[in-house]
Structures are given as structure tokens and as C-alpha cells.
């Protein structure tokens, strides 16, 4: 996607930011600035690399900027950012993570989570209905929690979860079992089999040389292989899956299908 950023940035341009560490992989500036341009909105979204140790200080400073209207949140801040907003909206409260925050009329900053909705919408738009699927997911961090909740709400038949942090993995399984009593949620293995879809919700694949987040050797060729990493667009997981004959689902589908929702959250109407 290419576009010419509106050159008329001026004193009344509204500012939005995306914060993460690393940040070079973020595609949100491209997507959101294209939306602003298409809508004729005098606004710009800029990337900001903020390490975890500086997050609280940086966010406190950003909140004082009068023309900063909203922040998109990416790896690794989605969970820790919940303590830096004044109020969590319903999905964020349930998931315990946010991927966007905005200033409301009272001056409060509120946070919400749309990763899960973006993922399930993206699946459906690509012709993959999650209801009734048996799903394996790697990753129980901020995005992983959002996806697991959304898949459970969507009515998957079974959901297997793994995370390198066993405590985080087990906590999410217990959380989902409580929130969705009819859901069949369990711990998976690093070599999944007998499922309809596998999902990478970890950062594995963002950097060259990263190991695969899980082994795909036992998967039937009919299994859908999904990744939520935006850059590279085709991770090693997706490349190897494609070589084996699997259908693949790209990370950009999540972003593209939640961007309009987040823009609306920021007060930018659909066009």
C-alpha cells in the first residue's frame, strides 16, 4: 500500500501514535494514514519506539500533549498498558489487555482491545468460519489473550493453547474456562495435530533466524495456518506451511479488519 501523506500538516493537525518496542515492523502508520487521507481528516499517526522500562514515563508525557487524541498499542505493551489508562472498556476488562486508547471529553484516557475482533472478522472475510473449528494457538500474551477470547466467543469447538511462560498459559486457560463454561479449552503440545487451524500469536517470526513457534510436521495438509505478525508478511511459519500445501492466513488481515473499528473508536467515522 502506498500513498502520499497529506503535505498540509499544520498547527491544527490531530496526532495519533503507535507505541511498541520494536516498532519498525508496524504497519499501522500506513493503514491509518491512508484512512485519514481517504476520509479527508487532518490527522496523522506516527510510530514511537518506547522500551518497557520507559513506558510509564513516556505515556505520562504523551497524555499531556493537547492535540494527541489516541494511541495504538503493540508488542510488548498490550498488558502493561492497562495500568496506564484511567478506565478499561468492556472487552479490555475481560481480556486484561488493550491495543488502543483515547482521550474522552472528561479528559480521561480509556482503553479497549480489538485484536480479537479484527482476527475473527479477517478469518470470515477470507472464507474461514471459526465456529465449530478445532484450533491450536501459540501465545498467551496481550494479542494472544484477545484472540483466544474472540475465538471462544465465536464458538470454536476446541481451543488448545501453549506459551513458553507456563504460568501465563495456565492462567489464560483457567480464565477462558471461567468466562466461557461451554468452551473446550486445554493445554496443547509444541507439535499440534488433529486440528482445523493453527495460529501463531507470539512474536516468533518477526526477526530473521527466529525459531518456528511450533512444529507443523504432524499437521494434515487441509489445516489452515494463521499468523498475526505483520512484517514480514510471510513469516517462516507461513512460508513452510505454504510449501507443504497448507492454506495460509496473513497477519495483515487482522490489522486491515480492525483498523476501521479502531478509527471509529478514535472518533473517525467510516467513509
Say yes or no to pLDDT of 4 above 90. Answer: no
Which of 2, 32, 37, 3 has its CA nearest to residue 17? 32
Query: Whole-angstrom Cα distance, residue 82 to residue 52?
Result: 13
pLDDT at 1: 41
Say yes or no to pLDDT of 270 above 60. Answer: no
User: Tens digits of per-residue pLDDT, 127-158?
Assistant: 999 999 999 999 999 999 999 999 999 999 99
Q: Which residues have a catalytic role annotated?
A: 78
pLDDT at 8: 75
Say yes or no to pLDDT of 257 above 90. Answer: yes
Residue for cell digits 478514535?
266
Query: Whole-angstrom Cα distance, residue 39 to residue 19?
Result: 23
For residue 147, give the C-alpha cell. Answer: 484472540
Domain with CATH 3.40.50.10860 in the chain: 14-113
User: Tens digits of per-residue pLDDT, 36-91?
Assistant: 999 999 999 999 999 999 999 999 999 999 999 999 999 999 999 999 999 999 99
- Given pLDDT bands bounded at 50, 70 and 90, which one contains residue 2? very low
For residue 258, give the C-alpha cell. Answer: 480492525
Across the chain, the runs of DSSP E, i.e. the strands, are 14-20, 43-49, 68-73, 87-88, 100-103, 109-112, 134-138, 158-162, 185-187, 197-200, 224-227, 248-249
Say yes or no to pLDDT of 244 above 90. Answer: yes
245 Cβ contact partners less than 8 Å away, ≥ 6 residues apart: 221
**231-244 average pLDDT score:** 97
Beta bridge partners of 198: 136, 225
Q: How many residues does the chain have?
A: 271
Task: Determine the number of helices (DSSP H) and then strands (DSSP E) in the chain.
Answer: 8, 12
Alpha helices in 64-185 (DSSP H): 90-95, 115-125, 142-154, 166-179
Average pLDDT, the chain: 95
Answer yes or no: CATH 3.40.50.720 is held by domain 116-254. Answer: yes
Residue 109 dihedral angles phi and psi, to the nearest 5°: -105, 125
For residue 221, give the C-alpha cell. Answer: 495438509
Contacts made by residues 54-57, CB under 8 angstroms, sequence distance 24+: 55/19, 55/80, 55/81, 55/84, 56/84
Fold of 14-113: Rossmann fold (3.40.50)
User: Tens digits of per-residue pLDDT, 10-46?
Assistant: 999 999 999 999 999 899 999 999 999 999 999 999 9
Domain with CATH 3.40.50.720 in the chain: 116-254
pLDDT at 5: 52
Amino acid at each position: 500500500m502506498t500513498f502520499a501523506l497529506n503535505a498540509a500538516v499544520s498547527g491544527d493537525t490531530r496526532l495519533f501514535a503507535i507505541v511498541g518496542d520494536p516498532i519498525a515492523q508496524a504497519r499501522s502508520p500506513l493503514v491509518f494514514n491512508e484512512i485519514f487521507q481517504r476520509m479527508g481528516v487532518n490527522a496523522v499517526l506516527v510510530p514511537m519506539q518506547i522500551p518497557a522500562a520507559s513506558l510509564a514515563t513516556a505515556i505520562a508525557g504523551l497524555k499531556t500533549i493537547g492535540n494527541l487524541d489516541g494511541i495504538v498499542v503493540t508488542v510488548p505493551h498490550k498488558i502493561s498498558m492497562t495500568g496506564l489508562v484511567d478506565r478499561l472498556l468492556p472487552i479490555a476488562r475481560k481480556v486484561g489487555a488493550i491495543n488502543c486508547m483515547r482521550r474522552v471529553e472528561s479528559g480521561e484516557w480509556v482503553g479497549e482491545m480489538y485484536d480479537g475482533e479484527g482476527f475473527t472478522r479477517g478469518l470470515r472475510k477470507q472464507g474461514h468460519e471459526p465456529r465449530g473449528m478445532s484450533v491450536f494457538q501459540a501465545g498467551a500474551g496481550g494479542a494472544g489473550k484477545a484472540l483466544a477470547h474472540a475465538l471462544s466467543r465465536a464458538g470454536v469447538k476446541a481451543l488448545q493453547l501453549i506459551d513458553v511462560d507456563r504460568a501465563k498459559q495456565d492462567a489464560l486457560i483457567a480464565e477462558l474456562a471461567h468466562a466461557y463454561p461451554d468452551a473446550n479449552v486445554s493445554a496443547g503440545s509444541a507439535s499440534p495435530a488433529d486440528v482445523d487451524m493453527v495460529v501463531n500469536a507470539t512474536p516468533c517470526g518477526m526477526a530473521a533466524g527466529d525459531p518456528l513457534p511450533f512444529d507443523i510436521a504432524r499437521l494434515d495438509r487441509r489445516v489452515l495456518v494463521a499468523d498475526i505478525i505483520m512484517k514480514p508478511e510471510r513469516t517462516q511459519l507461513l512460508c513452510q506451511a505454504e510449501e507443504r500445501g497448507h492454506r495460509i492466513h496473513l497477519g495483515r488481515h487482522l490489522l486491515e479488519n480492525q483498523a476501521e473499528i479502531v478509527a471509529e473508536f478514535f472518533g473517525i467515522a467510516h467513509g
